[in-house]
Structure 1
């Protein structure tokens, strides 16, 4: 009897779950975007998120600058693009293909057995697609975070009177992201991208203000994103029933 009981026993071990606190490619179970291949400084699952510094880039600047310490990101992104990793992969593959094309064209130039036209053709056919991919996807938004001011109470009036968003975009290589700040409150220039700027030869864009463009997919993010879409549509003179600022102010 004792032997049968002893055979049924199993050693109980303590399972330790490994948790990464890196601010780069952390993947949460409740996230619908696999960012394992994209390095980002925005980590909403960071244990020090409240004190983490937010870095943003101004239009035309090469390096990001730190925002004042009284600003922090929201604990969850308002929007996550489901195609982020595919756009990142496309950027990487196109750049790799262009590098191979440049090397192949160099070999054609150095070879006496081929005319220079082969080198020029190889160079153009490999670099033009990479330039086209970079141009078309330069305004692609991977995630959107709300920017909070820690010095002010998070009341409805404070959140709507000074509403700012952090728009996360992919860099040229597709392996990292950078941030841009978008002001929503009293920004009447934030509108839908006009149809004449959504041509085949134009970069992908759905929102734009006076200086920047953004490609944000619709029907993603729930009611929080519907509210933002309503503001953008209202500024554009379009009523789809999503504008709710008048109801909030009552």
Structure 2
């Protein structure tokens, strides 16, 4: 009888260890996903936004979660964020490979110098990707001031949004605090930029690209505001 029970007794510690292992793995995966989700609605995760650019103050720093609150649902999520980030990373990596290859060509006498100059040409995609892909907006979220009632009057009085773009080499997000009254519709960089922000204090301008086919009715009103700021009346 004891011999029959021994296999079952051996399985119990294995089952317990598997449960612990899966629980640890799921906890680890949750932590990883939270690190990549910069717009988690829970307040304790909002400080994970490392860098926020506030053009009014010309400063960059962590998101002030004590003064502002990010909306639970974003107004806009771009369809090709991963592809744009991958293109930026690939262009930068290609340039690094070209630099190393040119070093080999210039420092080894058996290799022609012409190959070194051609290898440096691998940096060409990087400025092109920077010029055309830097305006790409990954996410737009509304910002509320803490302590103020979320009434229609307060929400439309001085609307502020958090615009998330992709960094220079596609590794992390860059967040901009922008007032909607300072945004307008444009057509620049051959159609690769359709929004323009103008700093009312300094006159500095920064362009963004937002896909007009995404966002649904939530973005229709935002598009209407940016069009009216540009003197366009499309009926939105």
Pick which of 209-218 and 144-153 moved more: 209-218
Q: For the residues of structure 2 that align with 1:182 and 1:173, how far apart are their CA atoms?
A: 23
Aligned residue in 2 for 1:181? 177
Q: For the residues of structure 1 that align with 2:118 and 2:38, how far apart are their CA atoms?
A: 41
- The CA RMSD over aligned residues, in Å, is 2.8
Residues 1:99 and 2:96 are matched in the alignment: yes
Q: 1:119 aligns with which of 95, 112, 116?
A: 116
Q: What SS does the corresponding residue of 2:165 show, helix, strand or coil?
A: strand
Q: For the residues of structure 2 that align with 1:121 and 1:182, how far apart are their CA atoms?
A: 42
Q: For the residues of structure 2 that align with 1:132 and 1:213, how far apart are their CA atoms?
A: 16
How far did 1:43 drift?
2.9
Deviations for 1:158-187, whole angstroms, at most 9, x for unmatched residues?
A: 000021000001111212102101101xx2
Q: 1:151 aligns with which of 124, 130, 147?
A: 147
Written as runs of structure 1 = structure 2, the 5 A alignment for 1:164-243 is 164-184=160-180, 187=181, 189-193=182-186, 195=187, 197-199=188-190, 204-210=192-198, 211-242=205-236
Query: What TM-score, normalized by structure 1, do the two folds share?
Result: 0.73
Gaps of 5+ in 2: 1-18, 199-204
Conservation of the 8 A alpha-carbon contact between 1:88 and 1:174: yes
Q: 1:135 aligns with which of 125, 131, 137?
A: 131
Gaps of 5+ in 1: 1-13, 27-38, 243-250
How far did 1:74 drift?
0.6
Conservation of the 8 A alpha-carbon contact between 1:139 and 1:213: yes
- Give the number of the structure whose residues are more often helix, by fraction: 2
Deviations for 1:114-145, whole angstroms, at most 9, x for unmatched residues?
A: 33232112102x10111211221112110001
Query: What TM-score, normalized by structure 2, do the two folds share?
Result: 0.77
CA 1:212/1:40 → structure 2, altered by over 3 Å: closer, same or farther? farther
Aligned residue in 2 for 1:4? none
Conservation of the 8 A alpha-carbon contact between 2:76 and 2:140: yes
Deviations for 1:45-93, whole angstroms, at most 9, x for unmatched residues?
A: 44635x7476412459795344361201110111000100000111111
